Amino acid sequence: MARRFGIRFQRRFGQNYLADRGQLERIVAAMELKPTDRVVEVGAGLGTLTVELAARTAAVVAVEIDPASVRALHLTLRGLANTKVIEQDILRTEVGALLAPPYRVAGNIPYNLTGALLVHLLEQSPVATRIDLLVQREVAERIVAPPGSWSLATLGVRVYGSAELLLQVPRSAFIPPPEVDSALIRIVPAAEPAIRRDALPAFFKFVTPFFQARRKQLPFALGRLRGVTGSEARARLMRIGIESTRRPETLTLEEWRRLFESEHET
């Protein structure tokens, strides 16, 4: 079908189509779909996952940016009354307006889109009740990591909700095969972020320099950020119960919230 519709597996779209039926069945089972679910699918491709979503849920809106894939989708989904195809860039799409809430999000997404897409999906209003995405395995492992090995991406997701790695998918399950393995992650957004919505831009601006110096102890970044001496930075950390010898990846979400709020009260 890819050849018939002129699909050339364009790198700019990050096209790696799921082609292993056994892996597809594992993925669909892990998603725990219900007949009443309404799902927005990100990057529907040739419709392999779309067909399975449509068979198990009440409604599916498949968003796809590649015109050739959209032509294939219309053929693949012919006769499925509960599906709708939208040819659009997901990052320019108001996802929360595509289906009546509550809705879910699912998809096999391009690796190079992961960071921007997660932020976009989690900032939606209303936000999805559950997000199931196939992403690069190493990225998935960072997102679900326990405190002690957090990255900025981990914190970026945890501010909005919980994350879990459901299963791993080998690169051989895709055509063309990517250079790395994939994993299916589940993100369940909380009713409200751990940081006030109006404070989120300031929060992420505040925490980013810490992760840019993640091998350094906290006073290093805090001192540079606030223009204070090392001793003053250590004193500020001690006042809120955070050991000054710790590094950014070791802080919990609650500790990040406490540090941010203490520095924005001064």
Angle at 213 between CA 154 and CA 247, to 5 degrees: 65
pLDDT at 7: 47
Q: Identify whether 247 is part of a domain.
A: yes
pLDDT band at 2; cut points 50, 70, 90? very low
Question: Which residue among 166, 189, 212 closes a domain?
Answer: 189
Mark whether 86 and 133 lie in a shared domain: yes
Angle of helix 48-56 relative to helix 67-76, nearest 10 degrees, comes to 40
Distance CA 23, CA 170 (A): 9
Number of domains present in the structure of the chain: 2
Neighbours of 81 (CB within 10 A): 8
Higher pLDDT, 8 or 193: 193
Neighbours of 180 (CB within 10 A): 13
Q: Identify whether 5 is part of a domain.
A: no
Higher pLDDT, 5 or 103: 103
Q: pLDDT tens digits, residue range 205-259?
A: 999 999 998 889 999 999 999 999 999 999 999 999 999 999 999 999 999 999 9
pLDDT at 111: 85
pLDDT at 5: 43
Task: Take residue 247 and report the two structure tokens written for it.
Answer: 């590094």
Structural domain containing residue 42 = 11-189
Least confident segment among 12-21, 41-50, 84-93: 12-21
Mark whether 65 and 127 lie in a shared domain: yes
Beta-bridged to residue 107, according to DSSP, are 42, 133
pLDDT at 8: 52
Question: Which residue among 189, 206, 230 closes a domain?
Answer: 189
pLDDT band at 264; cut points 50, 70, 90? confident
Question: Which residue among 124, 155, 189 closes a domain?
Answer: 189
Distance CA 189, CA 81 (A): 29
Mark whether 121 and 184 lie in a shared domain: yes
128 in Cβ contact with 106 (< 8 Å): no
Q: Identify whether 136 is part of a domain.
A: yes
Neighbours of 201 (CB within 10 A): 10
Whether the model pTM is above 0.95:
no
Buried b / exposed e across 21-42, counting CB within 10 Å, b at 16+? eebbebbbeebebeeebbbbbb
Question: Strand 104-108 to strand 17-18: parallel, antiparallel, or no bridges (unpaired)?
Answer: unpaired
